[in-house]
C-alpha cells in the first residue's frame, strides 16, 4: 500500500506511516490499522499503537520500495 493509500488518510499516523516495523492490517469490516511487528517479540510495544506515534526508540525508516509494497 503506498503511503497516500494508507489508513486514515485524514489522520496523521506519525512514525508508523514510514516505519519498517509497521504493517497495515485491514479488518473484515474494512477498517485499517497499523500493526507494530516489534510487539511480536517485545512486550514493550503495543500491537496496535495509539496514533499518532511521535516517539519510538526502535523506529527505523522503511525503504521507498518497502513503502510501496505494504
pTM of the predicted protein model: 0.73
Res. 8 pLDDT band, cuts 50 70 90: low
Res. 66 pLDDT band, cuts 50 70 90: low
- 52 in Cβ contact with 12 (< 8 Å): yes
Residue spans of the domains in the chain: they are 8-59
Q: In whole numbers, what is the pLDDT of the chain averaged over residues?
A: 84
Position 57 pLDDT exceeds 50: yes
For residue 51, which of 34, 68, 31 has the smallest C-alpha distance? 34
Span 10-35, pLDDT tens digits: 458 899 999 999 999 999 999 999 99
Q: Which helix (H) or strand (E) holds 64?
A: helix 64-67
Amino acid at each position: 500500500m503506498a503511503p497516500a493509500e494508507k489508513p486514515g488518510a485524514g489522520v496523521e499516523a506519525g512514525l508508523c506511516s514510514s516505519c519498517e516495523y509497521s504493517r497495515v492490517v485491514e479488518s473484515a469490516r474494512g477498517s485499517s490499522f497499523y500493526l507494530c511487528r516489534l510487539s511480536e517479540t517485545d512486550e514493550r510495544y503495543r500491537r496496535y499503537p495509539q496514533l499518532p506515534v511521535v516517539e519510538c526508540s526502535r523506529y527505523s525508516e522503511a525503504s521507498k520500495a518497502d513503502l510501496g509494497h505494504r
